[in-house]
Structure 1
Amino acid sequence: MKLPGVMRFSVSTWLIALLMLSGCANSGKHADELAQSAHLKHELVPTDSFVLTSYYRMSRPDLPLNFYIEGDGRAWQSRTSPSADPTPRKAMGLALAAQDPTANVVYLARPCQFTPMQQNPRCSSAYWTGKRYSEDVVAAMNQAVSHFAAAGQAVNLVGYSGGGALAVLIAARRSDVASIRTVAGNLDHAAVNRLHGVSAMPESMNAIDVAQQVAAIAQLHFSGSDDQVVPPGIAKRFVTATNNSCASHIVVPKMSHESDWAQRWPALLAITPTCRAKH
């Protein structure tokens, strides 16, 4: 028996919505399990623009805070269609945080990731596509850093992929950042978008434009030798733009953009960002 056209549309729409909810629930369950394995507690952080999902472990407020920022997540469902929910199926930023054994660890998801949409009335696909690094987003993420960082506490920012861009943009407006680490960081979205032949993002700030502002902060930028999404040349270009001896670039062999960076993270985290003496 054939269903009427309207009925067919309604059933297919319902099935798509159900699958999307199931995917989001599974992603959230995976994130909860990963966080629990690392003794990270869940907290929703209200900001002026968004309610952000975080996981944290704070046992020594007298020691520095390692702050992890998630990547762009599932921004697009196809080359031309934004996804309905940017929650990553595999939260690489959270996986990195879960491998960090230090006393104070905070993971922060990007706007509209993991947090129920009804708690984020401002969420629209613009915030995980063209406005993913906009002033609204950077300001909200910066407020979340302030929510966790105690007065006088040093902050070490770590960002995966697009989270690397946000780590740099946040560092440019703070005075308590002791170091920056990025993993496969999109540190020049204009160059990356040109490389892939996709639309520019004029409503987003670009990390490379503030390279000079963060130049005096010790920083390490890790790239995968096999990364074709954000090739090593992007981080190299950013380091050159800092024109300072505080920024270093390390190419990790046999790693692509979505390789198992968490497995490599304990060894990479042990490399301390430092400012080299000028000769």
Structure 2
Amino acid sequence: MYSRLFTLLALLLASGCQAPLTQLQTLSQAHGHRVEIQPTQPFPLALSVPLKAPGALRLRVYLEGDGRAWATSSQPSLDPSPRNLLLARLALEDPQPSLYLARPCQFVSAPGCRAAMWTDQRFGKAVLDSLDQALSGIKQRYGNQEFELIGYSGGGALALLLAARRSDVTQVQTLAGNLSPRYWAQTLQLTPLAGSLEPLDYRQRLRDLPQRHLLGLQDRSVPASLFEHYRVELGSARCMQQVALPGVSHAEGWTQAWAQWRDQPLRCKP
């Protein structure tokens, strides 16, 4: 026990001076995982998988948020890899069979990695295609029949888009999820995300999807009030739950909240 605590403490102390990929590798190793690079197209993706292959019929896949998309309010980042590995920690600490999947150009670069891929086109077809291929590769490798997708921030929009595209996503949970990028940009008075897809354009598919959305009431990056727009525009959903979390911001308070809610069953209408 003390050895594990020492390892995690050393990890936290060293993380400030590590490159993002090295930081993710170190964190994964401390939790009995390893980082692999999936040769998906058009973007390879970083994936953290357990050393012992999971044999579950349903796998949880945690989809990373937007990461460090912007260096300043007007200057895109040169590297969108997240500096705070919040979602990776949640995935690695989950006792259920779980994998962590990064977004295109996070932790690993490729010829097509340009700023548009993590700004205007962060929810675009090329991004979705790579994530879709990664899920298919995971399914072929581990033999699971279903996925539960856990999306953080912008990963919430991609979780919904993947669920609308695939027939094997049986549940989605989001944490500070950007459920409607179009309305999010309007609300925060941002430039519209040209080249990005919108989950609400697939509302017919999403109405039957079991989904839970955890909302931080202190979140200024993805305000909790956006959920009401998503709920109204989606229409009559068969199985959807909202959880409002006082004191939780975009980056703080999620460890305790997620531990409380991640395995709570969803109650659906017959």
Percent identity over the alignment is 35
Structure 2 Cα separation of the partners of residues 242 and 144 of structure 1: 30
What residue number does 1:8 align with? Answer: none
Question: Displacement, 1:31?
Answer: 1.7
Cα root mean square deviation, aligned: 1.9
Q: Is the 8 A contact 2:185 2:191 kept in 1?
A: yes
What residue number does 1:100 align with? Answer: 94
SS in 1 for 2:255: helix
Are residue 146 (structure 1) and residue 142 (structure 2) matched?
Answer: no
SS in 2 for 1:192: helix
Structure 2 Cα separation of the partners of residues 211 and 38 of structure 1: 37
What residue number does 1:83 align with? Answer: 77
Q: How does 1:107-186 map to 2 (within 5 A)?
A: 107-115=100-108, 117=109, 120-150=110-140, 153-186=145-178
Higher gyration radius (CA): 1
What residue number does 1:189 align with? Answer: 181
Deviations 1:230-276 (A, max 9, x none): 11121232233142131111111110111131233221102223323
TM-score for both structures, normalised by structure 2: 0.87
Are residue 67 (structure 1) and residue 61 (structure 2) matched?
Answer: yes
Whichever residue aligns with residue 27 of structure 1, its letter is: P
What residue number does 1:254 align with? Answer: 247
Between 209-218 and 236-245, report the one with greater CA deviation.
Answer: 236-245
What residue number does 1:206 align with? Answer: 198
Structure 2 Cα separation of the partners of residues 265 and 38 of structure 1: 18
Whichever residue aligns with residue 91 of structure 1, its letter is: L
Structure 1 Cα separation of the partners of residues 28 and 144 of structure 2: 27
Query: Of residues 10, 32, 49 in structure 1, which corresponds to 2:42?
Result: 49
Q: Is the 8 A contact 1:64 1:156 kept in 2?
A: yes
What residue number does 1:270 align with? Answer: 263
Question: Displacement, 1:29?
Answer: 2.9
Q: How does 1:33-44 map to 2 (within 5 A)?
A: 33-44=26-37
Whichever residue aligns with residue 136 of structure 1, its letter is: A
Structure 2 Cα separation of the partners of residues 76 and 38 of structure 1: 30
Between 92-101 and 234-243, report the one with greater CA deviation.
Answer: 234-243
Structure 2 Cα separation of the partners of residues 56 and 33 of structure 1: 13
Structure 1 Cα separation of the partners of residues 138 and 17 of structure 2: 26
Deviations 1:79-123 (A, max 9, x none): 111010101101222122022111x211111100001x2xx1111
C-alpha change, 1:123 and 1:200, in structure 2 (3 Å) is same
Between 159-168 and 51-60, report the one with greater CA deviation.
Answer: 51-60
Query: Of residues 223, 231, 245 in structure 2, which corresponds to 1:231?
Result: 223
Structure 1 Cα separation of the partners of residues 95 and 72 of structure 2: 37
Question: Displacement, 1:25?
Answer: 4.0
Q: Is the 8 A contact 2:65 2:152 kept in 1?
A: yes
Structure 2 Cα separation of the partners of residues 262 and 125 of structure 1: 30
Question: Displacement, 1:152?
Answer: 5.7
Whichever residue aligns with residue 178 of structure 1, its letter is: T
Aligned residue pairs: how many? 252
Whichever residue aligns with residue 223 of structure 1, its letter is: L
